[in-house]
Structure formats: C-alpha cells, structure tokens
A and B are shown apart, each in its own frame.
Chain A
Amino acid sequence: MALNIVVCMKQVPDTTEVRINPETNTLIRDGVDSIINPFDTYAIEEAVRLCERVEGSKTTILSMGPPQVESSLKDALSVGADEVVLLSDREFAGADTWATSYTLAAAMKKLKPDLIITGKQAIDGDTAQVGPGIAVHLDMPQVCYVSKIREINDEVAIVERLLEDGHEVVEVKLPAVLTVVKEINEPRLPSLKGKMKAKKTAVTVWTNDDLDTDPECLGLTGSPTQVSKIFSPPKRGGGEMIDGENAQEKAETVVAKLKELQVI
C-alpha cells in the first residue's frame, strides 16, 4: 500500500501583522508578508508524516493563486513535500469558495489522490468551506476538524475530529477529504536537505488549458457570492476608566456599577 496524498495550500497575508490605521480607517499592509495559511502548515506536516509512515507514498501540494504563490510552494518543498502544482490563470481570479473548490477539484481529477488534506480554514477568507466543497465536486466523503489520524490503510482511515464539546472518532472510506486543526501535530522547520530540494524542484504550473473545466464555473463568473463592500469593523466605543485610590476602591466602584446596570 502506498498513499497518493494531495494537500491544498493557500497563500495568505499574515493577518497577525495586519493593522487598521485609526486615522484613515484602512488596512495598513506595508511590510505584511505573504505566508502559507497557518492551518495548511499542519496539513502539509501531516501528509509528510504519513509518507514517512507508509512507504512509497507521495505528497503533492496544490495551490490556486497568482504567480507569487510559487515562493510559498518552495517553502512547502523545504519541509518535505515531494511535488508542487500551481493553478494560475486570470480566468480563476475572483473565485468564491464554490469556484475555488471547483477548480481545485478539476486539478484533483488529474492528480487522482487517495487522500486530500486541507487546512481547517484560511485566515483571510475565513470561511472553512473549500474543503467540503472539493469533497462534493469529487463525490468524496469528508471529515472536518481532524485532530488525529489514528489508522490508515488502502481503504479506510480512522480519525478523531474536534468538536465544541469533545472528540468524535470516525471511520471514513478513502478516497476522502480531511480538514485539519492545529492540535494534529507540530510542523517541522525546513531542513538543509529540504532547502536544497526546494531549490532543485520546479513548480509545475497549470493554466485553464491544462484542466477540463466549464468556463462558466471559473473565477468571478463562476462564483454565486460576490463581495459588494469591504469596510473597517465598527469601533466599539471605549467606556469609562475606573478611578480610585487603591484596588479595593476600584473593585467596589465597578461592582456597584454592575449592580446598577443589573449585570450581576
């Protein structure tokens, strides 16, 4: 048994670095780096670990985006991915989750994976919809929020998924889509060998000509949702600073206010 694993990876702006300029109310993105979506680093690590566990297996990273995504794909190679594929075409631009999962699924038909791993969600679009979307386009089952792959063979995987109130243990038939949470592993840092491999390995770039797609289903045209407006979050007005000589006075003042407001 050997597994053909494809990991979906999105390049995103590092939102922990994104700040709002309070004067102009716009995003300050000077110096904001493009990074691998943090949840996808866990997906990549898990695939690489499975390849170490199951001899003869292979991890391919698939990403859709502008040409600059190549740099993130190189980063993925340096932490152990075997091959990387970039879907890049202006036809794909403006895709919502419907069209994104459609296009990724079209590439999957060429890659023929036994297992697809995606991150739980991307930290920019934040929808967590692409993984399940790919599963439907390919008529595969899915397990979301996977925190552990207990067992895997040619036919099934037994995984744990993280829910609000506990863990669910699920058996899923392969091929399948798993979306992973950060509890699943601790991603490794790039090795020297990995960096060498990243330098030597070329990024495979596919345009729409390389895929079998319906143009009506691509990019903005194929997207049922459209962003109509983007704005800064309304500011929650700061309230009152509590004065007082010491901690006791401040505590008593605030408790009195809470009682007055009938909060407690």
Chain B
Amino acid sequence: MARTRTPVVAGWFTDDVQAEDGSGERGFRLLGTRCTACGSVFFPREDAYCRNPHCAGDELVEVPLSPRGTVWSYTDGRYRPPAPYVSDPAVPWEPYTLVAVELAAERMVVLGQAAPGVTVADLAVGMTVEVVPGVLDEDAGGVRTTWHFRPVPEASGPQARTARESS
C-alpha cells in the first residue's frame, strides 16, 4: 500500500499548476496570495488581510509563484536543528543546504532547502534555480512533502528548450 503523502503545511505548494511554456503540462509551484485591491503578493499566504499599510483590502486570491528565481544567498546546517525539525537522532546528521531565492516578478526572497545532493559548492549568488517537489521527512505514518530549490541544468534552461522545440 502506498504511504500517504502530506504537505508539511497545507496550501503552500501544489504540483498542479499549468506550465508556462504552453506544453499543457502540470507543474510544481509555491502558492502565495495576492491582494485584489493593491496587488501585493504574500508568501507564506495571507488569507484574511493585506499587510500593505496603505491598503484596507481583505480579499486575497491564491496565486502560484514564479517557478524560477536567482540565488540571493545560501548556507548550510552542519548541526542537527532542534525540534520541531524532524530527524532521527540515531542516524548521523547529514548537513543540508538552505537557499534564499529572489523571485523577479514578485520582487521577494523565499527561503527553502536545496534538493538533496546540492551543496554550497554547487551554488553562487545570482545563479538561476527552480522550485521542485521534495520530501522533508517520512516515517511509518507517511511522507511529509515540501519544496526544494535546485540549480537549473544548463541544457534545460529556457533558451535550450526553445532551441530543442525549434529543431
């Protein structure tokens, strides 16, 4: 029996957003909200009020965030974080990488873990990365899913894809 897959937080991401390339594919995206009055975007989502001090808007709609951004900064966790981070104390700690990613359209920076295997040596400020589905932790009860960032492979950048499609 397949184990249940549960988002670590409900409503922060989905794998069911229409791809931007017109391919008809459904893709993984972070989900924010946008104020219908002033256009401010929020992630994590604000659903009840707009935090723009000049706006009294209280109607916010869900919007997928840009699938790609550029690295604002990055670091790693060489020591096991405390709870509520979930890790098995019986297993030696494996450092993971954190990436802060600047989204151009939203003009905001979003933090996330890098995909497994991506180390600080693989990253540079300004590098293009994309958001991908990931697993945060799992146990007998099921899998908790999350978002990860990973460098965009050279060959699958937008230009490379265009070249492929036109050939």
- A interacts with B: no
